[in-house]
Amino acid sequence: MVKNIIDVKNLSKSFDISYKETGLKGTIKHFFRRQTKSLKVIKNISFEIKEGEIVGFLGANGAGKTTILKMLCGLIYPSEGSILVSGYLPFRRKENFLKNITLIMGQKQQLIWDLPPIESFYLNASIYDLDKFEAKKRIKKLSEMLEIDKELFIPVRKLSLGQRMKSELLAALIHEPNILFLDEPTLGLDINAQRNLRKFLQKYNKETNATICLTSHYMKDITSLCKRVICVHEGAISYDGKLDLLLKKLSPVKEILIVCRSEEDAIKLENYGFTVKNKIKNEITIKIENNSITSSLKTILNNFDIEDLFINEPPIDEVIGKVLIKKDYDI
Amino acid sequence: MILRKYLKVYKKFLHTSFASELEYKTNILVDLITAILSLVGSIFLLSIFFQNSGYIGGWKFEQALIIQAIYTILNGITNTWFNPNLTEIVKHIREGTLDFVLLKPIDSQFFISLKKINPSGFLEIMLGFLLLFFCVRINQIDLNLIFLTLSLITISCSICILYSLWFFISTTTIWFVKTWNAIEVLRSFLYIGRFPLNSFSFSLRIFFSVFIPIAFITTIPSEVFLGYSVLWKIVLEVIVATVFLITSRKFWLFALKFYTSASS
């Protein structure tokens, strides 16, 4: 049985947020008497993650995804509840715990701007107590996997965003961590760079059995990497389970465009009892529930003279978009 | 083992800092010229003060030069280590890049205090020592072992006090986010340290000894050089430096509990 590597129970986090009224009066008031309010950004959440799992955290901006990741890696103290990551209390930031994890943030960088990335890699290697030979071996292996072996000696400021992100990944993985926390790692990258990064993460997960916790606003990152998703809505978990189950729940019907040989057949089909979305001449679009697709298609093909037929999946972004605004998914 | 790791990391810090700075050759040249002009300007200013009376607060010009030399060494240390690193803390906290530091298996205070180095500050340290040796000659100071040990202790304590004060102010960024002004005020007070403490009024002397211990930073080491120093002052400086170092360390660890990281 695969053991749990992350165990979160009744976790909550509150921040003191200051409010400011508009205008000069508001500014002066804000300067002399700052009004603060305690805001509960994470509300009593619990979940477990197994070793080797890739879990996607989904949610709108400000839902609390990054705060959860930062509590998991020990950057932020939780207000209530408990977290165990690889058997450690993250916020104590014990050396052995830190050697096991890594955090990659798409919008922040740790590489030394004026120097080639290889200098930052060796610096990180010395911090993680790796000898020169081991560091060289790992840099070679990871740079080949990430396809950046040619960029290792070019100053970071001269690299493209994609090359920089790959270098950030290498810097963050040189100590071969077991748990990866990725906060929007593909932010701002072009389609090819995104795909390469996803391919690398898949390979890394397969080769090392590392656990990956990922947040991303690019649905392709989530659908191609994560079997399981945790949806966060206003600091609470609205769904925790398999991605394909969520997609089925969110889009229970498929749209089928049927091109009939004659308009008469289209009229006959329109009156047959299916839910019709629209009809233009001999083309008719109907909606069929996922669980009755096979039987419905059999009926249509047996009873009507059909020229062509298209089954349309609803766009994934549109479907997932529903998650970001809905509070609860009972599956 | 741990010491070996930290030495290895520090060697890497030195290497990457030098390499980064050497990317901008003109900047280094400008910094070197500024350091020389700044020292010449300071000596000139000091000579103007002494032009009429020849004595200020009981100190002769040649003796006051010792304070200037110690100030130059400390300013060099400030420019070499404190300025590039401790001002960066504010940036780390505002932009949330402190996250990377906190997630490394290394002491975060060590990392943020020593990661960068400004090589041009070394020239200032060297100029300070040259001036100090010149002062030793013109003041006919006997270079014996006790004198050298006491000088080393008091200058080390001065460095610790200055570092702790600066680090303490930078740490408050975790709550106040911007603390540039407070650091500028500290630097301004440090300028005052170029003059003998006795040249100020009694109330100012108390202020610079108790509230902002500038007196400990330059005057006490200078008194050692001139043989004026009394043991209790040296012991007091060691105690103040130790208390400041421990407090700044405890304060940093306490402040980290309130670190909320920047939003992404």
Instruction: Supply the pLDDT for residue A119.
Output: 94
The A-side interface with B (CB below 8 A) comprises 15, 66, 70, 73-77, 93, 95-96, 98-99, 101-103, 105, 107-110, 112-115, 119-120, 122-124, 126-129, 155, 183-184
pLDDT tens-digit profile of A84-114?
999 999 999 999 999 999 999 887 888 999 8
Instruction: Supply the pLDDT for residue A256.
Output: 87
To the nearest whole number, what is the mean pLDDT of chain A?
A: 87
Nearest by CB to B99, from A99, A103, A115: name it.
Answer: A103
Q: Do A103 and B5 touch (CB under 8 A)?
A: no
pLDDT at B264 over 60: no
What's the pLDDT band for A329 if we cut at 50, 70, 90? Answer: low
Nearest-Cα distance to chain A for B190, in Å, is 30
Chain B residues with CB under 8 Å of A85 CB are: none
Cβ-in-10-Å burial (0-12, 13-18, 19+) of B157 comes to: buried
Contact A229, A241 (CB under 8 A): yes
Higher pLDDT, A115 or B93: A115
pLDDT tens-digit profile of B53-87?
777 767 788 888 888 888 888 888 988 999 889 88
- Longest Cα–Cα distance of chain A, Å, equals 79
Cα B70–chain centre separation: 10
Instruction: Supply the pLDDT for residue B197.
Output: 66
Q: Do A70 and B5 touch (CB under 8 A)?
A: no
Q: Do A123 and B13 touch (CB under 8 A)?
A: yes
Q: Do B261 and A15 touch (CB under 8 A)?
A: no
What's the pLDDT band for A35 if we cut at 50, 70, 90? Answer: confident
Chain B residues with CB under 8 Å of A114 CB are: 19-20, 23-24
What's the pLDDT band for B103 if we cut at 50, 70, 90? Answer: very high
Nearest-Cα distance to chain B for A160, in Å, is 20
Please spell the DSSP secondary structure of A3-63, one letter per residue: PEEEEEEEEEEEEEEEE--SHHHHHHHHHHS-EEEEEEEEEEEEEEEETT-EEEEE--TTS
Eight-state DSSP code of residue B198: G
Residue to substitute from A75, A92, A215, interface B, most B β-carbons within 10 A: A75
Q: Do B264 and A108 touch (CB under 8 A)?
A: yes
Chain A residues with CB under 8 Å of B103 CB are: 73-75, 93, 98, 101-103
Nearest residue in A to B6, CA atom: A127
Q: Do A114 and B20 touch (CB under 8 A)?
A: yes
Nearest by CB to B264, from A107, A109, A129: name it.
Answer: A107
Average pLDDT over residues A42-49: 94
pLDDT tens-digit profile of B136-158?
888 887 778 888 888 889 989 98
Instruction: Supply the pLDDT for residue B262.
Output: 63
Pairs across A and B, CB distance < 8 A: 78
Amino acid at B238: V
Instruction: Supply the pLDDT for residue A263.
Output: 85
Q: Do B261 and A70 touch (CB under 8 A)?
A: yes
Q: Do B99 and A128 touch (CB under 8 A)?
A: no
pLDDT at A73 over 90: yes
Nearest by CB to B97, from A95, A108, A120: name it.
Answer: A108
Average pLDDT over residues A257-273: 85
Nearest by CB to B264, from A96, A105, A112: name it.
Answer: A105
Q: Which of A225, A78, A79 is nearest to A69 (CA)?
A: A78
Q: What share of chain A is helix, strand, coil (3-state, %, to 5)?
A: 40, 30, 30
Average pLDDT over residues A50-59: 93
pLDDT tens-digit profile of B10-64?
999 999 998 888 877 788 788 888 888 888 887 787 777 777 777 776 778 888 8
Nearest by CB to A75, from B15, B19, B99: name it.
Answer: B99
Chain A residues with CB under 8 Å of B264 CB are: 66, 105, 107-108, 183-184
Distance between CA A282 and CA A260 in Å, rounded? 5
Nearest-Cα distance to chain A for B213, in Å, is 30
Eight-state DSSP code of residue A142: H
SS (H, E, C) A231-287: EEECCEEEEEEEHHHHHHHHCCEEEEEEEECCHHHHHHHHCCCCEEEEEECCEEEEE
Residue to substitute from A114, A181, A187, A232, interface B, most B β-carbons within 10 A: A114
What's the pLDDT band for A275 if we cut at 50, 70, 90? Answer: confident
What's the pLDDT band for A140 if we cut at 50, 70, 90? Answer: very high
Contact A10, A80 (CB under 8 A): yes
Residue to substitute from B103, B104, B176, interface A, most A β-carbons within 10 A: B103
Q: Do A110 and B100 touch (CB under 8 A)?
A: yes
Nearest-Cα distance to chain B for A226, in Å, is 22
Nearest residue in A to B9, CA atom: A126
Quick one: what percent of chain A has pLDDT higher than 70? 96
Cα-Cα-Cα-Cα dihedral sign, residues A108, A114, A117, A121? negative
3-class DSSP state of B261: coil
Q: Which two tokens stand for residue B177?
A: 């986010």
Q: Do A76 and B9 touch (CB under 8 A)?
A: no
Nearest by CB to B20, from A115, A126, A128: name it.
Answer: A115
What's the pLDDT band for B194 if we cut at 50, 70, 90? Answer: low
Instruction: Supply the pLDDT for residue B263.
Output: 61
Instruction: Supply the pLDDT for residue B6.
Output: 94
Nearest by CB to B257, from A77, A124, A184: name it.
Answer: A77
Q: Do A127 and B16 touch (CB under 8 A)?
A: no
Nearest-Cα distance to chain A for B185, in Å, is 21
Q: Which two tokens stand for residue A147?
A: 């396809």
Q: Do A101 and B260 touch (CB under 8 A)?
A: no
Contact A73, A138 (CB under 8 A): no
What's the pLDDT band for B114 if we cut at 50, 70, 90? Answer: very high
Cβ-in-10-Å burial (0-12, 13-18, 19+) of A112 comes to: buried
Nearest residue in A to B115, CA atom: A123
